[in-house]
Amino acid sequence: MTWIKLASLALVVALASAGISKNEDLECMFLGYPDLEYDGFDRTEVLTEKNFNRTVFAEDTKSVVFFNDVEEDDSELDQYECFLQLSAQIMTKRGYNFYTVNTTKEHRLRKQEEVEKGEDTIHVYKDGYKIEYNGVRDPETFVSWLMDIPDDPVTIINDEHDLEEFENMDDECVRIIGYFEPGSVALKEFEEAAEDFMGEIEFFAVVTSKWARKVGLKRVGEVQMRRPFEEDPLFAPTSADTEEEFEEWVEKNKEPVMQKLTLDNYFNLWRDPEEEEKMILAFVDEETREGRAMKKLLDKIADENSEHAGTLEIILVDPDEFPLMVDVWEDMFGIDIEEGPQIGLIDISEKEGIWFDMSQVNLDDPKKHSDSNFEAVQSWIDQILSGSISLDDDDDDEPEPPAPPPTQKGKKSRKEL
């Protein structure tokens, strides 16, 4: 076993010479992998306003930056530290550097990088692009996502493999597909626009009539947006051919009605809705007969309500993909997820929801009751959109108690109920 000791010693010397020190106080584990261990070395550095730009924007660098407001005495500190160190142990060998920024101290840097106050977030800086990670803080999920980041913001479809990649993303994410002349100015502008949406929206292009036909594009300059669970694509204006025009169109239309919650997009979806947004949570186990029937019904609901994109948001959750969260969600919302499909209007921060009465739909014979099932759910959604069903009802609809009448001498004021 002498060679193992020598190899370990060589690793220690190499890490020490690279300025990487041992982190004696941190105990971390790669859960479920008996042959994979944290080696105890600290691979993260702290960035400040003074050294941020010259570090992460240096040529040929790949940086992972964790923006956080976690203080040293915070109970979450070790958890975050382990997540970063375990990820760094794998990815520093692949050219990535890992950094942290304390946003409590670095106010100007937080604003520069558009990080919300009090928010913990991860940005990846690669080849001049900034990509935000919205997945769960788990080393395996993060490392897998990091390894899959494409080298270019736009994938040019010119073989069956590229076409299969494009088609397999159906219902997984928002996709933009355009038909351009190879090397054209319009294609360059399209690529420039795609840079701002890396990690959020997938961009594809075709440059020959053969592949244009295969993806359903008819003319050069045609650009389509394919949103999850919607049959018909959206078409960019024929006049859109600059970076700014493409960006404006994408920004305006990028919110689909329904998206599926995944490990990679968790914090992009599991958040408080915007002021005018109505967020509906749908728990659907697609391995059960009832679950498949409910999923098909929600597909139709999403497609029929495409004009409400940006106002109506349905988050589709398969409980089998989040087994550790089922009990948490059941306690949070007071529902039985394992009993069958559940859909409700929710407020995540307040941990409350108004849940649809599932007895109004028949999922045992969905073909026979297709129309009535759709009408029942659509009627409920219409009431949500109109405001007649609202989470604010308890607060806003209850009249303020009238002020007590002025006290008169010799009489007691009457207590108002």
Check residue 77 and give its pLDDT: 78
Query: For the residues 205-230, what does the mean pLDDT come to?
Result: 96
Instruction: Kindly tell me if the per-residue pLDDT of 196 is higher than 80.
Output: yes
Could you tell me the pTM of the whole model? 0.84
Query: For the residues 295-303, what does the mean pLDDT come to?
Result: 96
Check residue 396 and give its pLDDT: 44
Q: How many CB atoms lie within 10 A of CB 49?
A: 14
CA distance 148 to 307: 33
Query: Do 155-254 and 44-148 have the same topology in CATH?
Result: yes
Domain ranges of the chain: 44-148, 155-254, 258-386
Give phi and psi for 140, each to the nearest 5: -65, -45
Check residue 399 and give its pLDDT: 41
For residue 394, name the pLDDT band (cuts at 50, 70, 90): low
Question: 3-class SS at 80?
Answer: helix
Range among 6-10, 33-37, 320-324 with highest mean pLDDT value: 320-324
Instruction: Kindly tell me if the per-residue pLDDT of 1 is higher than 80.
Output: no
Q: How far is residue 185 from each of residues 177, 190, 196, 394, measured CA to CA in Å?
A: 16, 9, 18, 56
Instruction: Kindly tell me if the per-residue pLDDT of 95 is higher than 80.
Output: yes
Query: For the residues 13-22, what does the mean pLDDT come to?
Result: 49
CATH topology of domain 155-254: Glutaredoxin (3.40.30)
CA distance 155 to 3: 45
Across-strand partners of 37? 29
Instruction: Kindly tell me if the per-residue pLDDT of 69 is higher than 60.
Output: yes
Give phi and psi for 149, each to the nearest 5: -60, 125
The fraction of the chain above a pLDDT of 70, given in percent, is 87
The fraction of the chain above a pLDDT of 90, given in percent, is 75
Check residue 244 and give its pLDDT: 96
For residue 145, name the pLDDT band (cuts at 50, 70, 90): very high
Which CATH superfamily includes the segment(s) 258-386?
Glutaredoxin (3.40.30.10)
Check residue 216 and give its pLDDT: 95
Check residue 400 and give its pLDDT: 42
Check residue 3 and give its pLDDT: 37
Q: How far is residue 360 from each of residues 36, 180, 321, 374, 380, measured CA to CA in Å?
A: 51, 49, 27, 10, 10
Query: For the residues 341-346, what does the mean pLDDT come to?
Result: 97
Q: Name the one residue in this structure whose structure tokens are 């795609």.
A: 194
- Give residue-wise pLDDT tens across range 163-181: 999 999 989 999 999 999 9
Q: What is the mean pLDDT of the chain?
A: 87
CATH class of 44-148: alpha beta
Check residue 20 and give its pLDDT: 61
Check residue 414 and give its pLDDT: 30
For residue 22, name the pLDDT band (cuts at 50, 70, 90): low
CA neighbor of 308 nearest in space, from 248, 238, 386:
386
Give phi and psi for 305, each to the nearest 5: -110, 25
Choose between 50 and 12: higher pLDDT: 50
For residue 404, name the pLDDT band (cuts at 50, 70, 90): very low
The sign of the dihedral angle between the CA atoms of 253, 387, 381, 392 is positive
Separation of CA 186 from chain center: 29
Choose between 383 and 129: higher pLDDT: 383
Query: For the residues 393-398, what does the mean pLDDT come to?
Result: 48
Instruction: Kindly tell me if the per-residue pLDDT of 412 is higher than 50.
Output: no
Check residue 273 and give its pLDDT: 82
Structure tokens at 352: 């409350």
- Give residue-wise pLDDT tens across range 245-272: 999 999 999 999 999 999 999 999 998 8
- Give residue-wise pLDDT tens across range 273-295: 888 899 999 999 999 999 999 99
DSSP string, 10-21: HHHHHHHHTTPE
